Chains A and B, each alone.
Chain A
Amino acid sequence: MAGEPGELLQGTLEMMVLKTLSLEPLHGWGIAQRIQQMSKDVFLVSQGSLYPALIRMKRRGWLTTSWRVTVNGRRARYYELTAAGRKQLGVEQESWQRASAAVNWVMGARLVPEGGQ
């Protein structure tokens, strides 16, 4: 379930989490914030969709977790990309680009009059 401003497909959220984590390890709140910022407040990631997604990705072996202390001195669980996760990011990025290009082609298509040349 995504926040109101933008409906998010499950696969898309996972891809964005992978992207976010490819820059640096982050805790859950940090991931949500980063996605919100990077999407210019279009995507609000709720806890209800973020944490199940993180668990699923961990089960698939894309992430590892560790407890660390934040700059404010609080304990938080940090997520980090594994090699498999990095590979998965590549795969998803490629297929996303293909899919979004395809969607753009479809959405940008104009009706060419029949027989017209």
Chain B
Amino acid sequence: MSGFADWLERIRSIVFRGRDERELAEELQFHTDMDVEQFQRAGLDPAEARRRSALVLGGVERVKEDVRDARGTRLFHDVGRDFGFALRTLAHSPGFATVAILTLGIGIGGTTAVFSAVDAVLLQPLPYQQPGELARLYMADSANPTVRQYVTPVHFVDYRRDMTAFENMAALYTYAETGGDIGSGDDVRRIRVLPVSAGYFEVVRVQPRLGRGLQPDEENGELLIVVSDRLWREQFDGNRAAIGQSLTMSGRPYTVIGVMPPGFNDPLAGDVDAWVPLDLAAARDVDNAQNHYLSVIARLRRDAPLARAQAELNRLSSTLAARYPDANDALARLDPLKEDVVGSADRALQIMLGAVGLVLVLVCVNIANLLLVRGSDRARELALRSALGAERPRLVRQTLIESLTLALAGGVVGIVIAKLAMSAIVALGASSIPRLSELALEPRLLLFSLVLASLSAIGFGLAPAFRAARTDPGDVLREQTRSSTTSGSQMRVREWLVVSQVALAIVLLVGAGLLIVSLRNIRSVDLGVNPAGVLTFEVHLPAARYDSTARAQFYEESARRLAAIPNVTAAGGVSRLPATGNYHVWGTRAMTGRLANTREGAAQAQQRVVSGDYFAAVGLSLIEGRLFDAHDNAAAPIRVVIGRRTADMLFPGMRAVGQQLRAGGRTAEIIGVVADVALDARGEVVPYVYHAHRQFAGNRNWALTQVVRPNGSPEALQGEARRVLATLDPQLVLYKPALLGDVIGRSEAQRVFTLQVLGAFAGVALALAALGLFGVLSYGVRLRSREFGIRMALGADRRRIRRMVLREGLTVTTIGTVIGLVGAVVLSRLLASMVFGISALDPRVLLGAAAFMTLVAAVAAYLPAYRATAAEPRSVLQ
């Protein structure tokens, strides 16, 4: 016989099973009818004819079974029937089925979602060729070698010329002020533009799909533009003739020279719409050797490992330190770009990964527990069926199929949960974790969790079936009728499963508890500003229509008009909002006073350019001297206001007002000292230097963020601000409006995000542990109901029996809690960078978690304990 034809026929009969079955039934019916007809012709009455023919046939179902056997599809058919049977059995115990399927779903869905996030962010953060060769270059100075600084244009050019370990390097100007306005009239829109040096596209190894990249001789701010695929489709309808055409941005005509492939993204800046040549003219001014504002990425030569490049960089740094004595002793350091991009998100995701791993284990344990309970419940049923002659492989297969049905249903629920969880993860974390917005359901990972959960379901589901197949059914049946206490070993396994659940839940509870306390601590930190109700938004002035004088005038005028809105108490502008991290960190030196021109008299200070009534708008109070006024204009001597910390560092023990300092290549007189502002939400206090925009507008096109403080609720303020802006210049965009409180909170988003995820997992873990405990105790109580009945009949106190069950539950809980606390202490190192203002071993949190767990356990144990004594002894004994 031909093997191939045979298999083809089998497959055909599986595919067309329905038709085959119908045809078989028709064929057999025909056969029977013909028999009946024949018997009737032979003189039998119809009823007798039918009886005789049935006798000959010997059971239609039996024949059909044999035919299926011959078709080679019997197994398939039986499996189908077993599935039906499994569905019916599960439908008979909806409680068990719901809990099992939901548990599996949570495990599969949660794990898949979190693994997908980790995969997208941690494992494949750089979608470029040979991402391992990419490095980020920072500068540092020997006073603060751990503080990573941006690179000065002067140093960048020298590095690029002299470094041999780099195949190529590129400078990016990632500051937010580099956006551009496109469109006209009411349709003006702000896009993200990234000025880059030549070599950028070579470093990331992605070339424009149309046109070309940038040439070294174009690093002069020439009006050339490479557009993203999205912008190309939007502005040029995806027309290939776009190359060479003009695109007006911020009032200036740019020539399109390239179109990037779809999906290309900048590794540092994220959603960039266009790339323009960086103006490296600043590199020719040695004053700029203190001006750290470029982000630098490099591609290492294949034969040059990071350590060798770093060694070469160190040698070069000492040369450069001698070349630019005015600059701080410019050290440089290389970080793998992946580390740089992933950064602190690394820790958040690792914690999530750990949490989800724990939950997955919990889920498997819970499933094991559920199935063990069910297995012992069904031991009698299986024994009975075995005694009645059911083949044992058949019993095993059926149990297997029941477990598979559960796993499959759990998988379907899991996919739904994964989808939901992923949109939640994206919504919660996109602003704080890079690349999270690109999250997609990863089929490999879904498969992984599905297989894992199925294996646990199948493994623990099969155990009772194998046991049933091994043991003498008679034993089981006798044991059950005797209603003795259950076999000790099995009970002990289940108790240990609950112990492990409690332990895992404790670990997650401690983690969530630490983060809750950390968040509360961090929110109560005094940042030095009062963000209540303060509205912020950016206004970017196109350089084509606004020269430095016009810009200086505009920002003062806008502050004045915004402050004139009814109910607004103060308005101003700033180059970077307070407490939102590093921005323009420049070397700053005392030029007068005791520390003049000494190393002690120098600091890396945050530079801010302010307009209008900025200090009042954010709630910064003046400590001594005065604030800027209209006299501090471009014609006046250069003046700065400094933070108290700056005064303490550069002019310790003296009056800072009237002293002089040098920053950003300018020497300035200090006219006032204001209160300190935190660098970020953690409350770290750092030196600040404030420049008046009127005096500094010529330096660059500072895109000042407007800050408007209302007297009361901020509602309707945004509309008012938009109207004010329109009266000044109808073509300007009110960009990124937000409340100051939210903007400051954003740097906390990662912690909040981790807490939310961890909290959710801790809740699930707690619920699972409580469920497990409840299950074990209820089951124990049910098995011992006879024993309890006897005890009560003999006069035992009900309360004592209740206490006994409760004590049993609490013993299991206590063992689990102790193990969990030890685990939490061991794992606390993981959380160390996430906690704030509290030790990762804080006893209050540890005890709180233990107390909470015990409380939940007591509730879970009470119902079974109550049930143990609820029944009348007589009814139990009968």
Q: Interface of A with B (CB < 8 Å)?
A: 1, 3, 27-29, 32, 44, 46-49, 51-53, 55-56, 58-61, 67, 74-77
The 10 tightest CB contacts between A and B, nearest first, are: A52-B70, A55-B70, A60-B1, A29-B34, A52-B66, A29-B31, A48-B63, A59-B9, A56-B70, A51-B67
Would you list 19 pairs from A and B whose C-beta atoms are within 8 A, ordered by A residue?
A1-B58, A27-B27, A28-B30, A29-B30, A32-B31, A44-B56, A46-B57, A46-B58, A47-B57, A48-B66, A51-B70, A52-B70, A55-B71, A59-B1, A59-B5, A59-B70, A60-B1, A60-B2, A61-B2
Q: Please report whether the interface of chain B is mostly helix, strand, loop or mixed according to DSSP.
A: helix
A32 CA to B57 CA, complexed, in Å: 12
**Minimum CB distance partner of B53 in chain A:** A47
State which of A29, A52, A58, A60 has its C-beta within 8 Å of the C-beta of B35.
Answer: A29
**Contact between A77 and B28, CB atoms less than 8 A apart:** no
**Contact between B58 and A48, CB atoms less than 8 A apart:** yes
**Minimum CB distance partner of B2 in chain A:** A61
Instruction: Report if B442 contacts A (CB, 8 A).
Output: no
A46 CA to B35 CA, complexed, in Å: 11
B604 to chain A, nearest CB (A): 84
Instruction: Report if B26 contacts A (CB, 8 A).
Output: yes
> Across the interface, which residues of B come within 8 angstroms of A58, CB to CB?
9
Q: Interface of B with A (CB < 8 Å)?
A: 1-2, 5-6, 9-10, 23-24, 26-28, 30-31, 33-35, 56-59, 62-63, 66-67, 69-72
B397 to chain A, nearest CB (A): 23
A64 to chain B, nearest CB (A): 12
A113 CA to B754 CA, complexed, in Å: 102
Q: A27-B30, A74-B30 are in contact. Are A51 and B58 (CB under 8 A)?
A: no
Q: Which of A27, A28, A48, A49 has the most CB of B within 10 A?
A: A48
A115 to chain B, nearest CB (A): 51
**Contact between B56 and A46, CB atoms less than 8 A apart:** yes
Q: A47-B63, A55-B70 are in contact. Are A28 and B56 (CB under 8 A)?
A: no
A106 CA to B482 CA, complexed, in Å: 64
State which of B1, B23, B35, B70 has its C-beta within 8 Å of the C-beta of A61.
Answer: B1
Q: Which of A3, A47, A76 has the most CB of B within 10 A?
A: A47
A20 to chain B, nearest CB (A): 15
**Minimum CB distance partner of B35 in chain A:** A29
**Contact between A48 and B23, CB atoms less than 8 A apart:** no
State which of A32, A51, A75 has its C-beta within 8 Å of the C-beta of B63.
Answer: A51
B14 to chain A, nearest CB (A): 13
A75 CA to B69 CA, complexed, in Å: 25
> Across the interface, which residues of B come within 8 angstroms of A77, CB to CB?
23, 26-27, 30
State which of B2, B5, B28 has its C-beta within 8 Å of the C-beta of A47.
Answer: B28
B494 to chain A, nearest CB (A): 48
B7 to chain A, nearest CB (A): 10
A58 CA to B27 CA, complexed, in Å: 15
A46 CA to B56 CA, complexed, in Å: 7
A91 to chain B, nearest CB (A): 13
A46-B57, A58-B9 given; 10 more Cβ-contact pairs under 8 Å: A28-B27, A46-B58, A47-B28, A47-B56, A48-B58, A49-B66, A51-B24, A55-B70, A75-B30, A77-B26
**Minimum CB distance partner of A74 in chain B:** B30
**Contact between A59 and B31, CB atoms less than 8 A apart:** no
**Contact between A51 and B1, CB atoms less than 8 A apart:** no
**Contact between A47 and B31, CB atoms less than 8 A apart:** yes
B299 to chain A, nearest CB (A): 64
A55 CA to B20 CA, complexed, in Å: 11
> Across the interface, which residues of A come within 8 angstroms of B9, CB to CB?
58-59
Q: Which of A32, A46, A56, A75 has the most CB of B within 10 A?
A: A56
A21 CA to B226 CA, complexed, in Å: 80
B463 to chain A, nearest CB (A): 37
> Across the interface, which residues of B come within 8 angstroms of A1, CB to CB?
58
> Across the interface, which residues of B come within 8 angstroms of A44, CB to CB?
56
**Minimum CB distance partner of A44 in chain B:** B56
B360 to chain A, nearest CB (A): 46
**Minimum CB distance partner of A49 in chain B:** B66
> Across the interface, which residues of B come within 8 angstroms of A29, CB to CB?
30-31, 34-35
**Minimum CB distance partner of B71 in chain A:** A55
B864 to chain A, nearest CB (A): 54
**Minimum CB distance partner of B33 in chain A:** A74
> Across the interface, which residues of A come within 8 angstroms of B66, CB to CB?
48-49, 51-52
**Minimum CB distance partner of A67 in chain B:** B23
> Across the interface, which residues of A come within 8 angstroms of B10, CB to CB?
59
> Across the interface, which residues of B come within 8 angstroms of A3, CB to CB?
56
A29 CA to B69 CA, complexed, in Å: 20
> Across the interface, which residues of B come within 8 angstroms of A53, CB to CB?
70
State which of B26, B28, B62 has its C-beta within 8 Å of the C-beta of A75.
Answer: B26
State which of A48, A51, A59, A75 has its C-beta within 8 Å of the C-beta of B72.
Answer: A59
A33 CA to B62 CA, complexed, in Å: 21
**Minimum CB distance partner of B32 in chain A:** A47
B407 to chain A, nearest CB (A): 34
**Contact between B5 and A61, CB atoms less than 8 A apart:** yes
A81 CA to B101 CA, complexed, in Å: 53
A58 CA to B1 CA, complexed, in Å: 11
State which of B2, B24, B27, B70 has its C-beta within 8 Å of the C-beta of A76.
Answer: B27
Q: Which of A1, A32, A52 has the most CB of B within 10 A?
A: A52
A12 CA to B148 CA, complexed, in Å: 91
A56 to chain B, nearest CB (A): 5
> Across the interface, which residues of B come within 8 angstroms of A61, CB to CB?
1-2, 5
> Across the interface, which residues of A come within 8 angstroms of B28, CB to CB?
47, 51
**Minimum CB distance partner of B37 in chain A:** A72
> Across the interface, which residues of B come within 8 angstroms of A27, CB to CB?
27, 30
> Across the interface, which residues of A come within 8 angstroms of B35, CB to CB?
29
> Across the interface, which residues of B come within 8 angstroms of A74, CB to CB?
30, 33
A81 to chain B, nearest CB (A): 16
A52 CA to B62 CA, complexed, in Å: 11
**Contact between A51 and B30, CB atoms less than 8 A apart:** no
A5 to chain B, nearest CB (A): 12
A74 CA to B72 CA, complexed, in Å: 29
A3 CA to B35 CA, complexed, in Å: 15
B278 to chain A, nearest CB (A): 75
**Contact between B56 and A51, CB atoms less than 8 A apart:** no
**Contact between A52 and B1, CB atoms less than 8 A apart:** no
> Across the interface, which residues of A come within 8 angstroms of B72, CB to CB?
59
A44 CA to B57 CA, complexed, in Å: 11
> Across the interface, which residues of A come within 8 angstroms of B63, CB to CB?
47-48, 51
**Minimum CB distance partner of A61 in chain B:** B5
A51 CA to B6 CA, complexed, in Å: 17
**Minimum CB distance partner of B31 in chain A:** A29
